Amino acid sequence: MYKVLIADKLSEEAVKIFKDNDIETVVKTGLSESDLIKELETCDGLVVRSATKPNKKIIEQSKRLKVIGRAGIGVDNIDLEAATNNGKVVMNTPFGNSITTAEHAITLLLSTARQIPYADKTSHEGKWEKSSIKGVEVTGKILGVIGCGNIGSIVVDRALGLKFKVIVFDPFLQNEKAKEMGIEKVELEELFKRSDFITIHTPLTDKTKNIINKDAFKIMKKGVRIVNCARGGLVNEVELKENLESGHVASAALDVFVDEPPKNSPLIGTKNLIMTPHLGASTTEAQEKVALQVAEQISDYLKTGAITNAVNTFSLTASEHNMVQPYLKLSEQLGGFAGQLTENAIKKIAVEFEGAVSKINTQPLIQTIICSLLKKNFDGVNVINSVAIAKAKSIQVTEIKHEKAGEYQSSVTLTIETEKQTRSVSGTLFGGKPRIVNVKGIKIEAELSKYNLYISNEDKPGFISDLSKILSDNKINIATFNLGRKNSGGEAIALISTDDEINDKVIDQIKKIPLVIQVKPLTFNES
């Protein structure tokens, strides 16, 4: 039975979903680092919100852990690099709180325009400051939106309804889509220069950290109003305070902070600043949505292998998983085959899909191929981090698809370019089982087993008899013997499966056969 730890407060309905899927749940919140590590010793899944922070130490020591689910969109509290390196899938729920957060941003925009919190406070104090509290209309004002993803696009829609003129900075937003939405796509500097209001809806990354800083403030309009409901650290808090106090920024509203709660923040007590305690996702509807969603996603992954809303690997629906599954073993064998034969630094990897296999989700296959290819030479390679490791090693990865079937209904070809040579190996499925069908342009049909022998040789009489004698003399039983050649008398290949592992002594004997070019024992998992 699978087991999941719920480490932050979550709806009871989420617990029910796990139980309905026969997944044991443990609900323990507020755990220390050491207690969390201890609990995770027996857990396959971990559910968190923003309070629990699965760091590198926690992730590395949680050997059984397979998946971390964040009930919400932000994953800043999870060490993604450590999760990826250790083969843990990290999922979030990007849509469950999108409307809620967008509505909060709109609320804060309007509040900055009309000084609502100050007006409320002073009225409760018995003051009547009607003449001194002056706001601005939003109709016709320019709203600059930084980031036009799930939340940003909803903000845009609502803002257009309020008659804002909307400009957007988002490198990933296509011009055609911007026109369709009725907005203008601009560069960041232009957004800063033109905007009367600015709202931020982007993740916190190295590129976006302090995206609003002293240089940005310098080119903004005097009297600009700023809202951040995305992530703390996107706005430099010290420099925001300076610009609020000088009057360059008329008003600002923050729902997120560098440190939460912001007890020691320089912003505390700043005039014309609205502060809310990270309420973006805090509605009854949103809390319920993300809780149910994360429970369903983790249950699906543990029970069926489906991967939904993963932030550090491919996503794969249950139906896609069923289609992909037969090819995963083939991908593992192709990568392992090439990896065990490759002795030089790899420069390029090309994976070519032909026929029916080209029409399915091939990303899991690519990651499996690269994992099997690299794990012989690099420590810590897994299916999740394989592509990232390849890129880190400056290995170029290319995917090619041909929907039209060739010689086989489906085939996968892996081509490796090293500093000294280019090598290719192709495979297909026969009766649902993987089979090698081409090596270096030489046709051969071979089903691989746990123990195999790869031999490249000259196609001349005497080779088979010499090889058979060596194997016989060493009591090695041949399970299958497959041959292929380019042409008569040219280069030939033998792929032999044996019942037992072939030791180095026997390999040395085979190498001494005059016609032999290369000999390599190949081993594969039988599961």
Q: Cis peptide before 261, with omega less than 30 degrees from 0?
A: yes
DSSP 311: S
| CB-CB contact of 516 with 454 (8 Å) | no
Q: Which of 278, 296, 320, 332 is catalytic?
A: 278
Report d(CA 199, CA 254) in Å as an integer.
10
Helix, coil or strand: residue 178: helix
Euclidean distance between CA atoms 335 and 350, whole angstroms: 11
- Measured between alpha carbons, how far is 135 from 384 in angstroms, rounded to an integer? 52
Active site residue 458: no
How far apart, in whole angstroms, are the C-alpha atoms of residue 414 and residue 396? 13
Contact 401, 362 (CB under 8 A): yes
Q: Residue holding tokens 């069926």? A: 304
Q: Is 278 a catalytic residue?
A: yes
DSSP 212: B
Length of the chain: 527
Task: Quote the radius of gyration of the chain (alpha carbons, Å).
Answer: 30
Give yes or no for a contact between 228 and 254, defined as CB atoms under 8 angstroms apart.
yes
Structure-block tokens of residue 11: 């709806």
Distance of alpha carbon 78 from alpha carbon 90, whole angstroms: 8
Sheet containing strand 346-355, strands side by side = 396-402, 346-355, 410-418, 422-430, 433-439, 442-446
- 104, 225, 231, 321: which one is catalytic? 231
Query: What are the residues whose beta carbons fall under 8 Å from the beta carbon of 511, sequence distance 6 or more?
Result: 519
Tell me the sheet residues that pair with 48: 70
Using CB atoms within 10 A of its CB, is residue 519 exposed (0-12), middle (13-18) or buried (19+)? buried
Rounded CA-CA distance 387/370 in Å is 7
Exactly one of 13, 81, 189, 260 is catalytic; name it. 260
Instruction: Report the alpha-carbon angle 92-97-102, nearest 5.
Output: 130
Q: Is 460 helix (H, G, I), strand (E, B) or coil?
A: coil
Cα distances from 406 to residues 362, 365, 438, 442, 448, in angstroms, run: 18, 20, 13, 16, 23
Q: Is 231 a catalytic residue?
A: yes
Q: Please name the amino acid found at residue 336.
A: G
Contact 116, 123 (CB under 8 A): no
Distance (Å, rounded) from C-alpha 294 to C-alpha 70? Answer: 7
Residues classed as catalytic: 231, 260, 278
